[in-house]
């Protein structure tokens, strides 16, 4: 069914396996403070059956607690809350709408408080005996993937950009080194390689939450063509990046995002094309 309104927005998960049309104004978006929405970072657009239509569905979507996400790239696309004031309403993740810029939403966005029934336990106390205690714990929503950060988040840079992938996944990154992080439950994840495939976004395959990224970088042989003095400088940066273990701040428990000094890069989605 094609939406009945004339002003139709196009949307898709990042890889394009799930595509939709919705007839709604992007000025009327909301966020929800429940644990799942907070970890997914969804910005919801209320819609109805006659203003929403699936254009392509290649069968990649996974449903968890009413939210559907692409099991290939991790983008949350639609949701129907099971509790709270949004219960039973059809919602579309505005982050998946083509051209949507989360940095332009502004402070007028409607914010829905979490329902009293939303009582997900925080991921704490999972460090093994005899190892260095973690400064921060975090996890996906279902708890199958969890992380321990051994340094204080206040000592790390916090960055966010609005490229086509990060905007859809609501990724806010910190960049500790691999020896400053312990990751558990890797076998419960799927990885999405995007762009030039130098980075991989790693999601829980059950609940869809993006927990961490992997950094691969280009083949080291590409630096062989550089002059020796330039190559030395570039390789120093390369090895520094390769030592990183990026984490999604949204997956960390007990962190107040509003209080963090987030460095935002408004690079946009220029060059992003959904493959047919």
Most confident range (mean pLDDT) of 78-82, 85-89, 116-120 is 78-82
Mean pLDDT over the full length of the chain: 89
Residue 250: per-residue pLDDT: 97
CATH number of the domain located at residue range(s) 9-112 in this protein: 2.170.150.70
Residues of the chain with CATH 2.170.150.70: 9-112, 136-265
pLDDT at 126 over 90: no
Please compute the mean of the pLDDT values over residues 172-199 and round it to a whole number: 94
Q: What is the Cα 138 distance to its own chain's centre?
A: 14
Domain 136-265 in CATH 2.170.150.70? The answer is yes
Residue 124: per-residue pLDDT: 46
CA dihedral 262, 265, 268, 269 (to 10 degrees): -80
Please compute the mean of the pLDDT values over residues 28-37 and round it to a whole number: 90
pLDDT class for 88, splitting at 50, 70, 90? confident
pLDDT at 162 over 70: yes
Burial class (CB in 10 A: 0-12, 13-18, 19+), 161: middle
Burial class (CB in 10 A: 0-12, 13-18, 19+), 240: exposed
pLDDT at 125 over 50: no
Q: Can you list the alpha helix ranges (DSSP code H) found in 126-171?
A: 164-169
Residue 4: per-residue pLDDT: 45
Token pair of 26 as six digits: 């992007």
Question: Which residues is 20 bridged to in the sheet?
Answer: 11, 54
Q: What pTM value is reported for the model?
A: 0.89
The Cα 105–Cα 137 span in angstroms is 30
């Amino acid at each position: 069914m094609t939406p009945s309104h004339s002003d139709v927005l196009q949307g898709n998960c990042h890889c394009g396996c799930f595509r939709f049309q919705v007839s709604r104004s992007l000025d009327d978006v909301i966020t929800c403070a429940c644990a799942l929405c907070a970890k997914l970072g969804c910005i919801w657009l209320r819609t109805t059956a006659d203003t929403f239509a699936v254009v392509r569905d290649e069968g990649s979507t996974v449903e968890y607690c009413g939210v559907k996400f692409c099991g290939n790239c991790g983008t949350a696309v639609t949701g129907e809350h099971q509790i709270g004031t949004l219960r039973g309403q059809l919602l579309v993740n505005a982050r998946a709408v083509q051209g949507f810029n989360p940095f332009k939403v502004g402070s007028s966005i409607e914010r829905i408080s979490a329902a009293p029934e939303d009582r997900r336990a925080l991921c704490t106390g999972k460090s093994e005996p005899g190892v260095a205690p973690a400064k921060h714990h975090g996890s996906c929503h279902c708890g199958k993937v969890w992380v321990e950060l051994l340094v204080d988040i206040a000592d790390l840079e916090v960055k966010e950009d609005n490229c086509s992938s990060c905007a859809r996944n609501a990724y806010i990154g910190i960049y500790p080194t691999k020896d400053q992080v312990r990751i558990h439950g890797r076998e419960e994840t799927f990885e999405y390689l995007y762009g030039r495939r130098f980075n991989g976004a790693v999601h829980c395959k059950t609940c869809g939450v993006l927990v961490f990224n992997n950094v691969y970088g280009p083949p080291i042989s590409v630096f062989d063509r550089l002059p020796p003095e330039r190559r030395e400088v570039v390789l120093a940066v390369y090895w520094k990046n390769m030592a990183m273990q990026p984490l999604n701040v949204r997956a960390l428990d007990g962190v107040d995002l509003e209080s963090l000094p987030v460095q935002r890069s408004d690079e946009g989605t220029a060059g992003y094309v959904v493959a047919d």
